[in-house]
A = this chain, B = another copy of it.
Amino acid sequence: MKSEASFIPDGGVTSPKGFLAGAVKAGIKYADKRRLDLGILFSEAPCTAAAVFTTNLVKAAPVLLDQQRLKSGKARAVVMNSGYANACTGAQGMADAIEMTEMTARHTGVSTEDVLAASTGVIGPVFPMERIRTAIPKIKLTVEGGHDIERAIMTTDTVPKEAAVKVGDYTIGGISKGVGMLHPDMATLLCFLTTDANIEAGFLKQALRKAMDISFNMISVDGDGSTNDTVLIMANGMAGGKQITKSSKMADIFQDALNKICIYLAKENARDGEGATKLIEVTVSGAANLKDARLAARTIVGSSLVKTAVHGCDPNWGRVIAAAGRSGAMMEPDKVELEIGGVTLFKDGAPVPFEEKEVAKYLGGKEVSIALNLHLGRAKAMAWGCDLSAEYVKINAEYTT
């Protein structure tokens, strides 16, 4: 059996067997129905399911509802929308989230308890429920609809983020949206993963958490964690085969494949960060422990000054060292070594002469790699983010209006 997961061309959330999806233009935010904004993801067979949600104390109604329903470890369908987040909406918001799942259950013929909800968009406004009521019964579920549902959850995203990987007899698919209010340890805004592998519920939950720690929890766009962040995985077992549990021989192969698709989708979110013109990849090695490596990598990739310097192709490397220094990670300035694009700029506590023009040219590319070695231990972590542009300000100064 081939154990290396490989990407499927044009793959997405309906690539695994038995998953269907569809979306419509319900006019949730834009009454002129200019875009897809409401969709359903559906499995033809019962699924084990697990999710990771925002750590924000202010949680949107659909997050609170899903947390309750996922105690069963099962799900069959998710109704999702963009436009409004259904967060800070009080009792009315919860009633609306429940009603959406009830209507979806009737439309798809499954139990309401097996339907989850997810929303993204402006925090605060209550839903135009009459438009949602009219729209849900019009959603057609097909394999092709996988691409439509990704478009229905996009907000300030400029490109869809979809992928599927094949490993052995099964497939893992996924879609995700960002691309602002995006910060480590908050999962990301929305990500839905599907697989036709047969996965035991406890292992599914553990594998999802592990994958998050090296993917969505290692990206940052603007340091703001959302009220709606949700990463959900559903496994329907329709590829057949023995159930994979924590102690299965196949467990590592599934974990690797899941990591692969999660890192891919996380990086695509960072690359498409609001106003971004390039992807920044930060690798911190030689840290005393994994926590420090993660902390330093995420602090650097989240630093406004690092992000603006990269945007301006300005080899102002001192900002990277300064960000690491305030990260909370253990660090001895005299041991630190910094490389940008493979060029050493700082070593043993002192600057190393370098060709400014050469590094500035490198920073002008579409992917920028920053590598910091703390030379204190063996722990290593990677984080991804994007540059900070004037366009970010424009997008976020005019979002609700």
Contact = CB atoms under 8 A, between A and B. Distances in A.
Interface of A: 54-59, 85, 87-92, 122-126, 180-181, 183, 186, 222-227, 302-305, 308-309, 311-312, 314-319, 321-326, 331, 333, 346, 348-351, 360, 388-390, 392-401
Nearest to A330: B57
Contact of A314 (B57, B322, B398): B398
Contacts of A224: 303-305, 319, 322-323, 326
Nearest to A328: B57
Given A304-B392, A314-B401, 18 more contacts: A56-B322, A57-B333, A58-B325, A58-B326, A87-B318, A90-B348, A124-B351, A125-B351, A180-B305, A186-B326, A223-B223, A224-B304, A227-B322, A227-B325, A308-B395, A308-B397, A309-B396, A314-B398
Given A350-B91, A399-B314, A322 B123 contact: yes
Q: Is the interface of A mostly helix, strand, loop or mixed?
A: loop
Given A124-B318, A350-B91, A393 B396 contact: no
The oligomer's copy count stands at 2
22 contacts: A56-B322, A57-B324, A87-B318, A87-B322, A88-B321, A90-B349, A123-B316, A123-B318, A123-B322, A124-B316, A125-B351, A180-B305, A186-B326, A223-B304, A224-B319, A224-B326, A227-B325, A304-B392, A312-B398, A316-B400, A390-B393, A390-B394
Contacts of A122: 316, 318
B309 A399 contact: yes
A288 to B, nearest CB: 12
A317 B58 contact: no
A315 B400 contact: yes
A122 B226 CA distance: 34
A399 B123 CA distance: 35
A277 to B, nearest CB: 11
A57 B401 CA distance: 42
Contacts of A399: 309, 312, 314, 316
Contacts of A87: 318, 322
